[in-house]
Amino acid sequence: MMKMAVSSPSFFLFLILSFAVVAFAQHHSTHLHFYALERFFGSPNPTVAFSVNLHPESPMEGFGNLGVFDDIILAGLDPNSPVIGRLQGSTANTDLTGHSLTTIINLVFTAGEYNGSSLMVLGRNQVGGLSDRSITGGTGQFRLARGYVLSRVVNVTGTTVIFEFDVYVTQ
């Protein structure tokens, strides 16, 4: 009876490469583009609340401030665009200069293709600039998600702010 040798280095290399190809083939990328509408106090149905100023001596009079938000995710820039979800989370002013905030965000989709799914986002919100944050996970269609989120302010009024979001998800 003939024995087959399976201990050769090339056989093990073949197995490792085969598993890598299968794992790589199962990953796919998704790009989402949407807007978030934030309403401050003084507007109908405010979506954001901030704590008192904990350190008024800080340069930007905000170090240590905490906030929570439940903003509306819109399909388009117009505030009357279809609502596709909620942007829910918290923020902390963790920068002594006042130029950035640390944010924890759940992007919760309530309509459309990703209805019932969510993404968890963590990172630094650059005040007045482009913010680049990490996707740390997800639920539903976004289970085991990774990626990044770019956002920026595109419109400000006395009582509202509209943010533009570009979300790049890899699964």
**The domain containing residue 118 runs over which residues?**
29-170
User: What pTM value is reported for the model?
Assistant: 0.80
Residue 49 counted as domain residue: yes
- What pLDDT, on a 0 to 100 scale, did the predictor assign at position 77? 96
Residue 123 counted as domain residue: yes
pLDDT, mean over the chain: 85
Residue 23 counted as domain residue: no
Residue 9 counted as domain residue: no
Q: Encode pLDDT of 40-63 as tens digits.
A: 877 778 888 776 666 666 655 578
Residue 19 counted as domain residue: no
Lowest mean per-residue pLDDT among 10-19, 71-80, 81-90:
10-19
Number of domains within the chain: 1
Query: Where residue 51 sits, what CATH number does that domain have?
Result: 2.40.480.10
Max CA pair span of the chain: 87
Most confident of 26-35, 58-67, 94-103: 26-35
Residue 98 counted as domain residue: yes
CA 85 to CA 96: how far, in whole Å?
A: 33
Residue 140 counted as domain residue: yes
DSSP string, the chain: -PPPP---HHHHHHHHHHHHHHHHHT--EEEEEEEEEEE-BTBSS--EEE---S-TTSTTS-TT-EEEEEEEEESSSSTTSPEEEEEEEEEE---TTSSEEEEEEEEEE-SGGGTT-EEEEEEEEETTS-EEEEEEEEEGGGTT-EEEEEEEEEEE-SSEEEEEEEEEEE-
**Residue percentage of the chain with pLDDT more than 70:** 78
